[in-house]
């Protein structure tokens, strides 16, 4: 059975075709039509038709999207605002004349890593996106957990646990609340924290990759103390946030994704720091980097149709 996965992002739409063994048979990527819902739906359908023509086979279709479905089947909570309020699943099914499965992009990331990635073989996987925003997805026994309200795994908009000292005042979040995990642990959140705690030096304002690069000594260049302190705060906050996940879900594996998942020291430092916040004298949950990296979202969309189907 040929499986097509679509990663519907704010700037790009990526599509792949997967063979039953997970081999990528075709891949396409186009720019997302900006602010144009009908053009976006048409672009997704055209990608499916293009790949099917290339592979000479009809496929199942899964779509990872930013946001969630409300009780009417309309998109909500999407940072691609042109999708909000539209019946994306119904419209795609009408165009493609078949069932289309949809899931939040973080759920697709978690599913990909659970099926044949860093969480393969685990019964419970929590996937974390640490990028421009912060999200999460939960996979139990190979199935993504959506939840009664369609928001399971929305970890980025939980409050940072035990805020105090360097965490205050609580930063405002675009969702209307303050102190959300996303405001501390996203890339922009890390950069904003650095600005709050560091007198502005001459030169350009540092973004997250620059702060991370300057936080550790390399090739005889000493670490920038302010950047090192910012990254240390980031690690300690990530540990607090993930301890909350462990206390609630107790997953076997936590997989980090997004741009900040490339910070190698997180995988050693964060588990050491989450121990005081976990309600157990022993923590066996593994914190791991992704196997499929940026491809996890689109692969997970394809795996919305499991092998049994």
Q: Which domains does the chain have, with CATH numbers?
A: 2-98 (3.30.420.40), 112-293 (3.30.420.40)
Per-residue pLDDT band for 202 (boundaries 50, 70, 90) equals low
- Confidence (pLDDT) at 14: 95
- Confidence (pLDDT) at 219: 76
Per-residue pLDDT band for 249 (boundaries 50, 70, 90) equals very high
- Confidence (pLDDT) at 308: 61
Q: Which pTM was predicted? A: 0.91
Share of the chain above pLDDT 70, in %: 98
Does 149 score more than 70 pLDDT? yes
Does 201 score more than 80 pLDDT? no
- Confidence (pLDDT) at 25: 96
* Mean residue pLDDT across the chain: 93
Angstrom distance (rounded) from CA 290 to CA 74: 30
- pLDDT tens column, 24-67: 999 999 999 999 999 999 999 999 999 999 999 999 999 999 88
């Amino acid at each position: 059975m040929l499986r097509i996965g679509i990663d519907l992002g704010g700037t790009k739409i990526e599509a792949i075709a997967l063979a039953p063994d997970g081999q990528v048979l075709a891949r396409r990527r186009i720019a997302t039509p900006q602010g144009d819902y009908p053009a976006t739906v048409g672009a997704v359908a055209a990608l499916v038709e293009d790949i099917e023509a290339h592979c000479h086979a009809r496929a199942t279709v899964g779509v990872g999207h930013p946001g969630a479905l409300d009780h009417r089947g309309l998109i909500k909570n999407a940072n691609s605002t042109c999708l909000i309020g539209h019946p994306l699943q119904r419209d795609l099914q009408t165009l493609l004349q078949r069932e289309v499965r949809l899931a939040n992009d973080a759920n697709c990331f978690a599913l990909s890593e659970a099926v044949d990635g860093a969480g393969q073989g685990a019964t419970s996987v929590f996937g974390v996106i640490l990028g421009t925003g912060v999200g999460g997805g939960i996979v139990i026994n190979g199935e993504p957990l959506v939840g009664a309200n369609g928001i399971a795994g929305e970890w980025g908009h939980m409050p940072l646990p035990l805020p105090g000292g360097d965490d205050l005042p609580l930063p405002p979040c675009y969702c209307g609340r303050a102190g959300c995990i996303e405001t501390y642990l996203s890339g922009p959140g890390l950069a904003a924290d650095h600005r709050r705690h560091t007198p502005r030096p001459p030169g350009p304002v540092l973004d997250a990759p620059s702060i991370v690069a300057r936080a550790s000594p390399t090739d005889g260049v000493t670490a920038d103390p302010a950047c090192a302190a910012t990254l240390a705060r980031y690690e300690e906050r990530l540990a607090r946030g993930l301890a909350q996940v462990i206390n609630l879900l107790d997953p076997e594996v936590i997989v980090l994704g997004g741009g900040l998942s490339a910070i190698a020291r997180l995988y050693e430092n964060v588990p050491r720091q989450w121990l005081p916040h976990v309600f157990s004298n022993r923590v066996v949950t593994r914190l791991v980097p992704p196997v499929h990296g940026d491809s996890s979202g689109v692969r997970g969309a394809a795996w919305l149709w499991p092998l049994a189907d």
